[in-house]
Amino acid sequence: MKKFAKLTTLALCACLSVSALAGCGKEDGGVVVVWGGAEDQTLLKQIVEEFKAANPDVTENIRVEVQDAWDAQSVVTKDPEVAADVILIPHDQVGIMAQSGLLSEIRDGTSATFATDIRNNNDPATVQQATYNGKLYGFPLTMDTYIEYYTTGIFPESLENTLLGSVDQMLAANMPNIGTSSEKAAAFGFNIGDGFYFNMGFFAVGCTLFGEDGTDVNACNWNNADGLKFMQYAAKNFRQSGKKFKSDDAKNLATAVLNNRLGACISGGWEMQDTFKKATNIKYRTLPSITIDGKELPLIAFSNSKQYVINNMSEHKATASRLAAFITSEQNQLRYASERGYYPSNKNAQQNAAVKDDPFFKVIREQLDMSVPVPIIPEISRYWEAAKAVGSSIYNGSLAGDDASLQESLNNFIANLQSTL
């Protein structure tokens, strides 16, 4: 959706001069821009070329640009007029972007059934994640969550259901030296300073974030007695000084597992197509448990979906919607599954043998069924920094381990979530 007003005068004049003879771009055109991640560019460009061939009536030029989905909201907010027409975002950005008027509502038209098709063809969870205040804003593309990866160089498959199924047993394991050095490999890790992972223990003990369905800003109970029990567990087991637990960026942890410096880590499904692609020493399973009050409690993941949304400032919403629908179609979701390792949101694609019978996707599906979707309400934007502060203070030891300090930290965390946006 790059505006001609943003071009230099020289470039504009050149374009207008050429258009007098041969047209500047397609006749009646303009430009429709679609964003995708750097790793997805090859596939996305192929799909766009196929869209052009299948839709010769489209008069606009279509351009693919690199933009990380996680940062899309902040980029669009700064200047929506120069942002893309078709934007890939994680679903938790739908609420705040819709509330800010940045997204175009998706409806059925006289010759298109965009909204009906989205609701009929996609996993109900992703349809809910595309909906804010009863209005539909997203074309679902993928579903994702995180799982446990481990290296058979340290933890063999034979221990998957015992040691690897328990955080406590992994942290109690006798870890080998790294290579010929005197340094010991760490046993287990996840990024405790990232709110995407920090939630696991609180959900395991039964706490909720913004209520049971994630829509009530006043219903976060992580500071109750059960939440304190997890904080006590985390303060005891997830400190940097303990040596066997490691917190870091998820990709760094995955690399450490790949290189036999870490026995197991928690990271997203995308890791199989990135860090672990073609690795022979990497296995995976659903999340392990923690032991609290003598009970084995499985860690419970966050889950999310990625959605293509339409910029409300777009001058080409009809073509943008057609393009988003094409990119997120059943056949193209299967290509994202095959080529990029993304679990599809389309219900038929989920039942395709290439997905349904794939061992990795089976684990992803199992974990999705034991997950809590990241809330969509705009207030979720306050959660990430608040969770980072608490998780990081546990790991670096700046938060004292006594009950009073832990309770105060949780109370402050809840107060931050419920402050005015």
Q: Please indicate, yes or no, whether residues 165 and 288 belong to a single structural domain of this protein.
A: yes
Band (pLDDT 50/70/90 cuts) for residue 179 is: confident
Least confident of 15-19, 232-236, 271-275, 295-299: 15-19
> Residue 171 pLDDT > 90, yes or no?
yes
Q: Give the residue from 123, 128, 139 showing the smallest Cα distance to 34.
A: 139
pLDDT of residue 418: 83
The tokens describing 106, both together, are: 């998706």
pLDDT of residue 218: 87
Chain position carrying tokens 């010759």: 111
Q: Please indicate, yes or no, whether residues 296 and 165 belong to a single structural domain of this protein.
A: yes
Ramachandran quadrant class, 91 (left: phi over 0; alpha: psi -120 to 50; beta: rest)? alpha
Q: Please indicate, yes or no, whether residues 14 and 162 belong to a single structural domain of this protein.
A: no
Q: Please indicate, yes or no, whether residues 161 and 295 belong to a single structural domain of this protein.
A: yes
Residue 297 three-state SS: strand
Q: Please indicate, yes or no, whether residues 41 and 136 belong to a single structural domain of this protein.
A: yes
Q: Please indicate, yes or no, whether residues 79 and 159 belong to a single structural domain of this protein.
A: no
Predicted confidence (pLDDT) per residue in 358-417, tens digit? 999 999 999 999 999 999 999 999 999 999 999 999 999 999 889 999 999 999 999 998
> Residue 3 pLDDT > 80, yes or no?
no
pLDDT of residue 390: 97
> Residue 13 pLDDT > 80, yes or no?
no
Give the C-alpha separation, 90 to 307, whole Å: 6
Q: Kind and range of the H or E element at 87? A: strand 86-90
pLDDT of residue 420: 56
What CATH code is carried by the domain that includes residue 182?
A: 3.40.190.10
Give the C-alpha separation, 406 to 228, whole Å: 7
Phi, psi angle pair for 32, to nearest 5°: -110, 120
pLDDT of residue 29: 76
Q: Please indicate, yes or no, whether residues 102 and 163 belong to a single structural domain of this protein.
A: no
Q: Which residues contact 90 (CB under 8 A, 6 or more apart)?
A: 69, 70, 304, 305, 306, 307, 374
> Residue 109 pLDDT > 50, yes or no?
yes
Mean pLDDT rounded to a whole number for the chain: 91
Predicted confidence (pLDDT) per residue in 308-330, tens digit? 999 999 999 999 999 999 999 99
DSSP states along 347-387: HHHHHSHHHHT-HHHHHHHHHHTTEEEPP-SGGGGGHHHHH
pLDDT of residue 419: 75
List the domain range (segments joined by +) for residue 44.
4-143+304-373
Band (pLDDT 50/70/90 cuts) for residue 1 is: low
Q: Please indicate, yes or no, whether residues 237 and 309 belong to a single structural domain of this protein.
A: no
Q: Give the side-chain half-sphere CA count within 13 A for 4.
A: 14
Band (pLDDT 50/70/90 cuts) for residue 6 is: very low
pLDDT of residue 204: 98
Phi, psi angle pair for 65, to nearest 5°: -130, 155
Predicted confidence (pLDDT) per residue in 37-96, tens digit? 999 999 999 999 999 999 999 999 999 999 999 999 999 999 999 999 999 999 999 999
The tokens describing 86, both together, are: 């078709």
Distance of CA 138 to the CA centre of its chain: 15
Q: Please indicate, yes or no, whether residues 295 and 310 belong to a single structural domain of this protein.
A: no
Mean pLDDT calculated for residue range 213-232: 94
Q: Please indicate, yes or no, whether residues 380 and 337 belong to a single structural domain of this protein.
A: no
Residue 281: CB atoms within 10 A of its CB come to: 14
Q: Please indicate, yes or no, whether residues 13 and 72 belong to a single structural domain of this protein.
A: yes
Q: What's the number of domains the chain is made of?
A: 2
Q: Please indicate, yes or no, whether residues 241 and 341 belong to a single structural domain of this protein.
A: no
